[in-house]
């Protein structure tokens, strides 16, 4: 296939605190060398498991504790997206992780929202923001996060998510927040079916009722769940390189995403953590072409599905579809 980097792409599953380039870290920590950056910010090709992978985000979070730093990191990500051909991205972060030096959660969201407006104006990349609660959080912290989504309605904030170590924490503390989100018509996605098997996806669907699942790849272990996802048009945000790094699969050739694609379940391809996994969306596409012989047809289909399930307005979606079709066909 010809150069994929210039083709327009949609990315729905992308963590801000896991996607800091060396250039922006150098601005925030001038003393850091590239070797030190790779040691602290970039994960190894193989983590022990998801829990080990999540510890790699700590370095990014530590430098993202001021409004100025949040602005720089957000603008840096927009530059990465532009270089990668991404024309629409949903960028997620957990506001409560950025309050260690005195910022309020409201100030965190405001800073990233303002920087998002600036990034859109600078690069032309359209974007929405998804606020994350974490599996380890209390019910109060999850409610605080979903209230922030509501408070910032009408800005670039478009949805609510739960991330973190799904194997280590039960879901009970977060049911109320997702019920609240539904009552306020807040679009929801939820990480599941990554560290844990199909049961975690069933539980997430039952108690949180999201329209999308972050990862969800282990749904393939349960044919009944696959049928349910297809019938309910639940979208899976699949992150192939990340799934190999977190040891769900030994190598990309072992990934079961081709089965998910062939089943007719709605899915998209995403990077998850551009820095920790050290990958671009263009590279993800190239890997799928090399290993699974995916062509433009499959990649375009995943992008069109991403648009259909994006937390964007119908007007934005219509424009994105036109831009995609004009370039890919």
325 is a domain residue = no
* Residue whose C-alpha is closest to residue 238's, from 265, 270, 207: 270
Q: What is the mean pLDDT of the chain?
A: 96
Q: What is the dihedral angle through the alpha carbons of 313, 315, 319, 320, rounded to the nearest 10 degrees?
A: 10
218 is a domain residue = yes
98 is a domain residue = yes
C-beta pairs of 138-141 under 8 Å, 24+ apart in sequence? 138/173, 139/173, 139/174, 139/176, 139/177, 141/96
pTM: 0.97
Q: How many domains does the chain have?
A: 1
3 is a domain residue = no
> Can you give the residue range of the structural domain that contains 154?
9-310
pLDDT digits 0-9 by tens, 62-71: 999 999 999 9
CA distance 161 to 94: 9
Q: 315 φ, ψ to 5°?
A: -65, -45
Q: What is the CATH number of the domain that holds 259?
A: 3.20.20.140
CA distance 17 to 102: 18
β pairing state of 126-134 and 157-163? parallel
Local structure of 55: helix, strand or coil: helix
Q: Which of 33-37, 54-58, 85-89 has the lowest mean pLDDT?
A: 54-58
150 is catalytic: no
SS3 content of the chain, % helix, strand, coil (to 5): 55, 15, 35
Once rounded to an integer, what is the mean pLDDT over residues 220-236? 98
Q: Determine which one of 194, 237, 284, 305 is catalytic.
A: 194
pLDDT digits 0-9 by tens, 96-145: 999 999 999 999 999 999 999 999 999 999 999 999 999 999 999 999 99
Centroid of chain to Cα 172: 23
């Amino acid at each position: 296939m010809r150069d994929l980097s210039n083709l327009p792409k949609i990315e729905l599953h992308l963590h801000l605190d896991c996607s800091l380039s060396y250039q922006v870290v150098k601005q925030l920590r001038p003393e850091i060398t590239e070797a030190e950056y790779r040691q602290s910010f970039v994960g190894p090709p193989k983590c022990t498991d998801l829990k080990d992978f999540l510890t790699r985000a700590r370095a990014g979070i530590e430098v993202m504790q001021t409004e100025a730093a949040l602005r720089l990191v957000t603008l840096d990500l927009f530059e990465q997206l532009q270089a990668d051909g991404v024309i629409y991205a949903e960028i997620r972060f957990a506001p409560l992780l950025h309050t260690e030096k005195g910022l309020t959660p409201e100030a965190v969201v405001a800073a990233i929202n303002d920087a998002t407006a600036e990034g859109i104006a600078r690069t032309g990349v359209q974007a929405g923001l998804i606020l994350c609660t974490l599996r380890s959080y209390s019910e109060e912290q999850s409610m605080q996060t979903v209230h922030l989504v509501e408070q910032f309605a009408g800005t670039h904030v478009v949805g609510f998510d739960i991330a973190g170590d799904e194997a280590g924490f039960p879901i009970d503390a977060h049911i109320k927040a997702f019920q609240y989100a539904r009552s306020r018509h807040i679009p929801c996605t939820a990480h599941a079916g990554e560290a844990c098997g199909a049961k975690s996806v069933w539980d997430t669907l039952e108690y949180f009722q999201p329209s999308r699942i972050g990862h969800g790849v282990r749904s393939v272990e349960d044919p009944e769940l696959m049928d349910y996802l297809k019938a309910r048009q639940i979208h899976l945000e699949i992150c192939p390189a990340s799934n190999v790094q977190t040891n769900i699969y030994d190598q990309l050739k072992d990934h079961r995403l081709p089965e998910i694609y062939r089943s007719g379940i709605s899915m998209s391809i995403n990077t998850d953590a551009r820095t920790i996994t050290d990958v671009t969306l263009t590279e993800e596409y190239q890997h799928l072409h090399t290993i699974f012989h995916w062509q433009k047809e499959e990649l375009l289909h995943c992008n069109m599905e991403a648009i259909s399930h994006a937390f964007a307005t119908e007007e934005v979606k219509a424009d994105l579809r036109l831009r995609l079709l004009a370039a890919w066909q």
